[in-house]
């Protein structure tokens, strides 16, 4: 539920200020060449992952996707903080109030949460498959 809340909130925030979000992505020293793709792709992927989390059949795949996208977001923040002279601001809403270091901690929490979710759901699926075989 936390991932659904996070991703839907983040996607809606990006779409509400889409032109500003696109400009901020274009200012990124890492993403400049692909700004338009990221500006559309990130919120669409966030919504797709949220929808997949609602459907039990796709929940494990969605948790893998959430884990992957959170690793990507966290890596981006780490790279910007440690290897860039310019730190753009491309977060909206409440997350905009966080410092980049706080945002890194926030994202790390969600990376760990997704990893735990994958472990739990994988274990449940394996146990169910084992019960079917018996």
Q: What percent of the chain has pLDDT over 90?
A: 58
| 88 φ/ψ sector (left φ>0, alpha ψ -120 to 50, else beta) | beta
At residue 18, the 3 state secondary structure works out as helix
- Residue whose C-alpha is closest to residue 4's, from 58, 55, 49: 49
Predicted structure pTM score: 0.84
Residue 128 has pLDDT above 60, yes or no: yes
pLDDT digits (tens, 9 = 90+) for 31-72: 788 889 999 999 999 999 999 999 999 999 999 999 999 999
At residue 35, the 3 state secondary structure works out as helix
């Amino acid at each position: 539920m936390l991932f659904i809340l996070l991703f839907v909130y983040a996607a809606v925030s990006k779409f509400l200020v889409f032109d500003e979000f696109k400009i901020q992505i274009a200012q990124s020293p890492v993403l400049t060449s692909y700004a338009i793709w990221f500006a559309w792709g990130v919120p669409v992927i966030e919504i797709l992952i949220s929808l997949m989390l609602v459907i039990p059949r796709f929940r494990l795949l969605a948790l893998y996707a959430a884990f992957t996208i959170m690793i990507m977001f966290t890596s981006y923040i780490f790279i910007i903080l440690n290897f860039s002279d310019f730190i753009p601001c491309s977060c909206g809403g409440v997350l905009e109030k966080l410092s980049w270091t706080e945002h890194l901690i926030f994202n790390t929490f969600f990376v760990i949460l997704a990893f735990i979710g994958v472990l739990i759901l994988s274990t449940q699926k394996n146990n169910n498959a084992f019960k079917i075989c018996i």
